[in-house]
Amino acid sequence: MTDIPTTRVETHADTTSDATSEPAREPEPVREAEVTREAHAADPETASEPVDEPAPDAEPVRDAEPVHEPRDAAAPAPSEVTRRADRDAEHEANAARESLGRVRAEVAKAVVGQDAAVTGLVIALLCRGHVLLEGVPGVAKTLLVRSLSAALQLDTTRIQFTPDLMPGDVTGSLVYDARSSEFSFREGPVFTNLLLADEINRTPPKTQASLLEAMEERQVSIDGRPRPLPDPFVVCATQNPVEYEGTYPLPEAQLDRFLLKLTMPLPPRNVELEVLARHAAGFDPRNLAGAGIAPVAGPDDLAAGARAVRRVAIAPEVMGYIVDVVRATRSSPSLSLGVSPRGATGLLSTSRAWAWLSGRNYVTPDDVKALARPTLRHRVQLRPEAELEGVTVDGVLDSVLAAVPVPR
């Protein structure tokens, strides 16, 4: 054990000294440095550390002044960098808009008279949403999706939904490999950019539900492991509105996952004449290259367009208009189910995409009106008595749009 150092005091008792001895001197005042030194020596934890004594007549230590390094004259100012980035983003957005604008003309080489459906599919791709195509057989629903994927250089896969289709046939499954004695994952047709779910209402609900995770999370989970899907990933599901025998109607929860519901009506007489003229001239719908469809845009244009859409401004008054329209559907006497908040966000996204495609960087109430029906028609449900009276969903939405005040 280390001894604790103490201050040693010597005393001298001289019995021989007499009264004539010199008087005792007064003790000298102890300096502060000596006290500090003695206290330092008395502390066992700091005895080995040196004591800093202030130098005589030392000047007080001043705070170091900040050193201003000269800025490089060639480096642009922050505001200039911001302006340059804005110009680059605007140039990229304009180029993407021009490329996507050519998609409609390219698809028209194979599909006649369905420009509204083509625009709706482009809006869905920009918003990363899914589309439900409804039309009678023979109005080119499948040909439309195939032509769009060819013009955009996107991978596409078609699934014919049947009553015996299983969920693993859509998402993929684990397959045993006898050579390695291990299970390996084999991707299903869902691993693509543009998935054509043909006649989705002809398969049982358990197979329909296999698309829920893919549509919402952009992934599928097999054996507890999530597997991401390609980007972009959009589901284009078709259904027949006139034949319901042996079908399984989609539940409201799954219908709400679709961003748009596009109807493809029968063509007018002049359009149908053009269809016949093309077939008489040798048009083959199974040979898109022979029809002259070439890639005019790509995934990079869609990504640039999606970034530009997110920068489109929307005024608080227009957002309030969207909320008022959605809330009016919940109180409509003809509807038993109104639009959910997800429908309001979907209408916001589609309105911004339509405004950007129209060449504007802001949303107007007319944009909201233009996209209200395709964005909301599948999210509401008519009352039975209203259906008996011949009321349609589009008619109810038109009444709602006419009743809600438009912001000025």
| Dist. CA 86–CA 234, nearest whole Å | 29
User: pLDDT tens-digit profile of 141-165?
Assistant: 999 999 999 999 999 999 999 999 9
Q: Where are the domains positioned within the chain? A: 83-311, 312-408
- What would you report as the CA-atom Rg of the chain, rounded to the nearest whole angstrom? 39
Say whether 172 sits in a helix, a strand or coil. strand
DSSP 232: S
The pLDDT, as a whole number, for residue 18 is 42
The pLDDT, as a whole number, for residue 51 is 45
N-to-C CA span, the chain? 90
The pLDDT, as a whole number, for residue 286 is 86
CB 195, CB 244: distance < 8 Å: no
Superfamily (CATH) of domain 312-408: Magnesium chelatase subunit I, C-Terminal domain (1.10.8.80)
| Dist. CA 120–CA 259, nearest whole Å | 10
User: pLDDT tens-digit profile of 200-232?
Assistant: 999 999 999 989 999 999 999 988 889 999 999
| Dist. CA 221–CA 210, nearest whole Å | 10
The pLDDT, as a whole number, for residue 278 is 92
The pLDDT, as a whole number, for residue 62 is 54
314-317-318 Cα angle (round to 5): 50
Q: Is the pTM of this model over 0.85?
A: no
Residues in contact with 384: Cβ distance below 8 Å, sequence separation at least 6, in sequence order = none
The pLDDT, as a whole number, for residue 76 is 55
The pLDDT, as a whole number, for residue 6 is 43
> Domain 83-311: which topology?
Rossmann fold (3.40.50)
- Token reading at 71: 């800025």
User: pLDDT tens-digit profile of 325-374?
Assistant: 999 999 999 999 999 999 999 999 999 999 999 999 999 999 999 999 99
CB 322, CB 368: distance < 8 Å: yes
The list of the chain residues with pLDDT below 70 reads 1-78, 244
Nearest Cα neighbor of 252 from 71, 383, 380 is 380
